[in-house]
Homo-oligomer: A and B are copies of this chain.
Amino acid sequence: MKHLSQQTVDAITALQHCHATCSSMAMTHCLEMGGEHARPQHLRLMLDCAAFCAFTADALGRKSQFHTGFAALCAEVCETCEKDCEALGDMDDCVQACRVCATACRQIARAEHREALETGSRTAPARH
């Protein structure tokens, strides 16, 4: 995907990995373990995280004008899921995938911000 920056491609990879890990773990590992792992609130959070990662990956891939807002909210969802999985235990793959993905999303959100600042300084009206 030569039409996207390396940072965006890396974020899409992290988002897709987090999506696949959370959705698969929820519907196999967690449901099969039962107990706390099958708590409705935990599984809903896992699906929130999985679905929002898939959505954000697609949005980045199509150069969405909202990519900063999506990435920032996605980072928040991933971090919440990461903490929930860590507290639950036996969810190492999810904890790791969420962490990596949240970091990638934060970078996308910041990159945009930095770019906006730079653009701002480039176009600032010189006072003569």
Q: State the A residues within 8 Å of B (CB).
A: 1-4, 12, 16, 20-21, 23-25, 27-29, 31-32, 34, 38, 40-41, 43-45, 47-48, 51-52, 54-55, 57-59, 61-66, 69-70, 73, 76-77, 80, 93
Contact = CB atoms under 8 A, between A and B. Distances in A.
Looking at chain A's contact residues, is the secondary structure mostly helix, strand, loop, or mixed?
Answer: helix
A43 B23 contact: no
A44 B64 contact: yes
Nearest to A45: B65
B47 A21 contact: no
A62 B34 CA distance: 15
B24 A3 contact: yes
